[in-house]
Amino acid sequence: MKSAPFKSAPLNATPFKSTLLELASLKSALLKITSFKSALLVLTSFKSTLYKLVLIKILWTVLLSFLLFSCSSEDDGVYFNETAYDIPAGKASYSKMESEILNLVNAHRRSLDLSELELLNVISGVANGHTDYMIAVGQASHDNFAQRSQELITTANAKTVGENVAFGYSSAQGVVNGWLKSTGHKGIIEKPEYTHFGISIGSDDQGRNYFTHIFINK
């Protein structure tokens, strides 16, 4: 019995070509996505459920990556080698009142046979940042002191950091007297271990003075 000759079915090129076109369209569509709205338009333009699922997976991966890498370093309480504010530059010049405060503090230390403190511009730069902050919020405070301490540990090799702040005084002698009348502030000025200091004074729109005086041991 003769067997019927085997005839291979012709390859249907149409689905293959369609797949290539769909892939090319998918690549082109991905390059056009610039916003959430454009992503939705691209998604609805595909008829194939498979390509819609592929596109959704790609978009979800991109969105998840964005969320993971755009989180603040402070969100989980872990601080990396970053700061939430610009690193202040060291002061290059000092006002008359600032210089008077530094001189008065050193004169007081000399009277107690303590070593004089050396002025360090990088300390005054950090103090500047806090003075500006106090002016902005309208009150004297030690807010963010830990952040300033860490900055000075990093940039000035500080071992310990102390800080006095004040508000409203109109003279160097007045603010120094005010600090010396306070046990806590006086203790910082008279601490034997301190080796360097810095100062910053700024005024608000009403002419009220804000003072930040920082001491370190290095």
Residue 33 phi, psi dihedral angles, 5° rounding: -75, 115
pLDDT at 3: 33
**Does residue 27 or residue 121 have the better pLDDT?**
121
**Does residue 77 or residue 43 have the better pLDDT?**
43
- The pTM of this model reads 0.60
**Does residue 7 or residue 169 have the better pLDDT?**
169
Q: Read off the pLDDT of each residue in 41-56 and give the average, rounded to a whole number.
A: 57
pLDDT at 62: 52
What is the average pLDDT score of the chain?
Answer: 74
**Alpha carbons 4 and 22: distance in angstroms, whole number:** 39
**Residues 65-78: tens digit of each pLDDT:** 433 333 333 333 22
pLDDT at 197: 96
Q: Model confidence at 54, in pLDDT bands (50, 70, 90)?
A: low
Q: Is the pLDDT of residue 206 over 80?
A: yes
Q: Are 171 and 180 in contact (CB under 8 A)?
A: no
| Closest alpha carbon to 140 in 214, 210, 215, 213 | 210
The single residue listed with the structure tokens 């300033």 is 148
Give Cβ neighbours of residue 159 (< 8 Å, ≥ 6 apart).
Answer: 153, 216, 217, 218
Q: Read off the pLDDT of each residue in 97-113 and give the average, rounded to a whole number.
A: 97
**Does residue 112 or residue 36 have the better pLDDT?**
112
